[in-house]
Structure 1
Amino acid sequence: MENVRRALTEAGLPDTVLLVPDSVATAATAAAVLGCEVGAIANSLIFECGGAPLLIMASGAAKVDTKKLARENGLSKINRAGPDFVLEHAGQPVGGVAPLGHPQQLRCLLDTELRQYPVLWAGAGSHQAMLSLSYDQLLRITGAKETAVR
């Protein structure tokens, strides 16, 4: 979580990390705790693509279509990554992955459906931390390619 806080401020953004008493490891639980729509949760999902990590920032209301994403973005097969792979490449646990604060910059795709929400919420490096930011801020800090994920 401290890496996430540091990365936010280094990116010129305010430290918006919010700690909550209960786990917010799923979009549904995060939305319930934060009082927002599930779609406003920007899930940070790590996939394996050609042996490398791929971060997909998807709306909590979306089910990611990996075949479509691979085809439309010229990628090899995209596979769900296991917890050890996620921890190795993100430095954060599944269910708490943030869009930034990783050991290295990750290739990223950003769900265009998130653009409709003025405030987005994303994991902040633990199961009890979230951060808030705008779509444009998320796009800038991740260097993502915008795409539909479903």
Structure 2
Amino acid sequence: MHPRAEEFARRAADDHGFDVDVHEFPEGTKTAADAAAAVGCSVAQIASGIVLSADDDLVVSITSGANRVDESTLADLVGAGSATMADADDIKATLGWAIGGVPPFCHEADVPVFMDETLTGHEEVWAAAGTPEAVFPIAPDRLRELSGATVADVATTPPVSTTSPGTGSKTNCRGTASRRRSGGRTTRSPRARSSRSPSRKTVASRST
């Protein structure tokens, strides 16, 4: 296992008591489409970590791979004048993870996180595990809990030609390629919408 993926798994266990089931794909999972193809699930089940800069403060949006972040909506949610894609160096410096592999939790900074409400329509979603080649499965309720995310309507649907055919379906998929694992449990907890005070620099992981 890659040292950074191993570090994420260790921190998730130490900080949250969560056993991460890491799946590594040497060909990479840098985009939502890449990740879905590698795992064998719909693009809608990829929980892409999108990092934006809202009036110079970083904000993380955990967005379905079938959608795009609505930047104006996100700016309104944090009370900013505008929101744009964050700088890769700012992401690394603030969250402690390089772009393409930023996990949805275990960040160096306590930053505000929002979660695309469409992700809650699936039994299981997949997120980055510390590197562009590593992902892990997690129940949406558990993802919301561990990331401290506020569930909101933060996304827009791209044109039909770029949208995955299973968008909105309730699917439980498992990886079909060879994988390495560090733990095996993915637990669920009752869903509750939570919010964080959007105060510090915020960031997130994987590009769509």
Give yes or no for TM over 0.5: yes
Question: Greater Rg, structure 1 or structure 2?
Answer: 2
Q: CA deviation at 1:74?
A: 4.4
Structure (1 or 2) with the greater strand fraction? 1
Give the structure 2 partner of residue 89 of structure 1. Answer: 94
List aligned pairs for 1:1-150, cutoff 5 A. Answer: 1-9=5-13, 10-71=15-76, 73-76=77-80, 77-150=82-155
**Secondary structure of the equivalent of 1:132?**
strand
**How far apart are the structure 2 equivalents of 1:12 and 1:137?**
12
Deviation at 1:53, TM superposition (A): 1.7
- Determine helix, strand or coil for the equivalent of 1:115: helix
Q: Over aligned residue pairs, what C-alpha RMSD do you find?
A: 1.3
TM-score (norm 1): 0.93
Task: Measure, in 1, the Cα distance between the counterparts of 2:6 and 2:38.
Answer: 22
Q: What amino acid does structure 2 have at the position aligned with 1:84?
A: D
State the TM-score, normalizing by the size of structure 2.
0.68
**Kept in 2: contact 1:45–1:97 (CA 8 A):** no
SS at match of 2:151: strand
Residue 45 of structure 2 aligns to which amino acid in structure 1?
Answer: A
Aligned equivalents of 1:128, 1:90: Cα separation in 2: 18
Structure-1 separation of matches of 2:126 and 2:118: 14
Cα pair 1:109 1:144 within 8 Å, conserved: yes
Mean alpha-carbon deviation: is it higher for 45-54 or for 131-140? 45-54
Change (3 A) 1:6 1:106: farther
SS at match of 2:113: strand
Does 1 or 2 have the higher relative contact order (CA < 8 Å, sep 6+)?
2
Cα deviation, 1:74-117, whole Å, max 9, x if unaligned, reads: 42021210111111112222221110222122210000000011
More helix by share: 1
Paired AA for residue 113 in structure 2: C
The answer as to whether partners of 1:86 and 1:93 remain within 8 angstroms in 2 is yes
Identity %: 29
**Which stretches in structure 2 are left out of the alignment for 5+ residues?**
156-208
